[in-house]
Homo-oligomer: A and B are copies of this chain.
Amino acid sequence: MSKKLSIISFSGDFDKLTAVFTLATGAAAVGYEVNLFFTFWGLDAIKKKQGRAFIGGTALTKLLGFFMGGLRNAPVSRLNFLGASPIIFRRLMRKNNVATLEELVDAAKALNVNFYACEMAMNILGLKREHFIPEVKDVLGVATFLKIADEGQTLFI
């Protein structure tokens, strides 16, 4: 019987996204069906532009998109040291042969982890499907996601 792990990836923090993709790839590697539902700040992880960019329909959402900063500028949730902390962690990961966040995202794609984007959060932030990487399988609402996650483990990160 196939196992299932579903994660609502809400946070845009470097350390929490690292947790999301470590769990996702670890589970997929041992045969789990893995579903990632990106919402709110978490949408940063599936944007085509990994760096800062004025993405979004209006001036306000564009500014928000800029401040969110993309995957490459994800802050650490604690002890961020004005942005020095993600650089330190990236270095520690490389030095200790632990996959970096970007490598984990690539591994998740290779392991056929399912990427979904949250429709409501996209509406709020002025994001459209074309802003995301092509690996995003679908744009979903809560009810559809719950159906996909049914009968498995579900985490909110």
Contacts and interface: CB of A to CB of B under 8 A. Distances in A.
Interface of A: 3, 5, 8, 10, 12-13, 15-16, 19, 22-23, 26-27, 29-30, 32, 39-41, 60-61, 64, 67-68, 75, 77-79, 88-89, 91-93, 96-98, 120, 123-126, 141-143, 146, 149-150, 153-157
Given A12-B78, A146-B32, A156 B26 contact: no
A155 B154 CA distance: 7
Contact of A96 (B68, B123, B156): B123
A71 to B, nearest CB: 15
Contacts of A40: 15, 19
A26 B148 CA distance: 14
A61 B141 contact: no
A16 B10 contact: yes
